[in-house]
Structure formats: C-alpha cells, structure tokens
Amino acid sequence: MWALMPRARVTSGFFRIQMMIAMALGVLAILTLGQLTSASGELVADEWILAARVAAGVAALTGYVGSVLWMLDRRSAGTACGFVILSASLGSLILSMGGLGSGGLLLVSHISTSAVLGGAVTGMLLGHWYLTAPTMSIDPLKRLSLLFGMAVVVRLIVSLAGWMLAGQSLTDGTLWTWFALRWLAGIIGPLVIAVMALQILRYRNTQAATGVLFAGVILTFIGEMSAALLYYELHVPL
C-alpha cells in the first residue's frame, strides 16, 4: 500500500522500518510455506512451493538492502527496492497457488486480502510515525485511509461472489458463525473504520485516527482468519 501513497511527504525513517518488516515477513514466508491447496482442493506441487519460497527470499533480501538504502536517505534506490518487494511478493503468492491456472477469483481474493491487511497495518504504523514527525503532512495518512477503504470494498465484492458460488454449502451452524464473524469483523467493521479515520483526519487529529486504525487492524485480522477457516472447509474465497 505504501507504494501508492505520496512518499515524498514522509520521512525516510518510516520506510526503513517498512523494509525491515518486509524482510521479516519474507523470512516468515520461507519458514511457513508448506502444503497448500489450490482452488480445486488439490495439493499444490512441491515445485511450486519451492519457487514461492525463492520469491519470498528475494523479497526478504531486498527488504534488508532497502532498509540500508532508506537509512542512508537514498530515496530513489529505496523506492525501487519497494517495487521489487511488491513484485516478488506477488510472484510468491501466485506460485504458492500453483500458478495462474488455479482460479482468477482466488487470485483476486488473495490480492484484495493483502491490500486490506496492508492498508490497515501500514496506515496504523504511519499514524504512529506522526509521534516522531509531528510536522509531517497528513495527506499520506489520508491517502492510505482512502486506499484501505477501497481495498475493503473490493474484498466485499469478492466475498459476495464467493457467497454466490458457495450456494447451499453454508448449512452448518459453525460455518455460519464464521461467516458472520468474517463479514462483521472483516468487511463491515473495516469499512466503518476507514470512514471514521477519514472524518477524524479532517480535524488533523492523527492520534485519534491512529487509534481507530489500530482497531481496524484487529478487526481485519479477525475477519481474514475467519475467511481462511471458511476457505479450508469450502474451498471458496469468502
């Protein structure tokens, strides 16, 4: 998400921390990528998983290089590293699915999930960064809050499409409980959070907006974990 925000108005230290987070997530992906299922419910071949780990390794290594570049205030080179991480992460995601042939809806679901999680977490971290750089423009935080809301809308559309595909599969009471939690905490809640953050930022209150976005992070993780449980049972992105 930070690749779409006005980066020139944000100090370099914020992006250095983002690069370190990307490096840690890349290492985590290498360690945790294991047996995964495609949209058809079949196991993804080991060759795809290995390739996904390599792509995650590229993202992790680039994150380390990028953190050094941003520490030295090499903004152009640091920005280039950010886009390399974006490409490597997208590649790792596609490879972990078994390639593009595993289903377009599932790919859009994963990308929108990444955008929602990235928008919530990056917005919250940027809000905290105003404590160390209080004179920084609030436009980047406004943009991130707007992008976060747009990502939630896309996720809502994908979830609706998955609901239609699931048909009569949602018959079990436990599945309906997960589905309700997925929508209340993972879609409706984040939409309200995005609107609230934008309204609060009209009064230039970055601390209050950060608190709201922090709640959005929690709701988003709850919703996406519920969606993951539903996908494991139904093999449909919800």
Residue 43 sits at φ, ψ, to 5 deg, of -70, 140
Q: What is the DSSP code (8-state) at residue 211?
A: H
- Measured between alpha carbons, how far is residue 64 from residues 24, 26, 170 in Å? 9, 10, 44
Estimate to the nearest angstrom the gap between the alpha carbon of 178 and the chain centroid. 20
Tell me how far apart the alpha carbons of residues 75 and 8 are, in angstroms, rounded to a whole number: 9
Contact 158, 107 (CB under 8 A): no
pLDDT tens digits, 137-179: 899 999 999 999 999 999 999 999 988 887 777 777 888 889 9
Encode pLDDT of 25-79 as tens digits. Answer: 999 999 888 766 655 566 777 788 889 999 999 999 999 999 999 999 999 999 9
Please state, for a pLDDT cut of 90, what percent of the chain lies above it.
Answer: 60
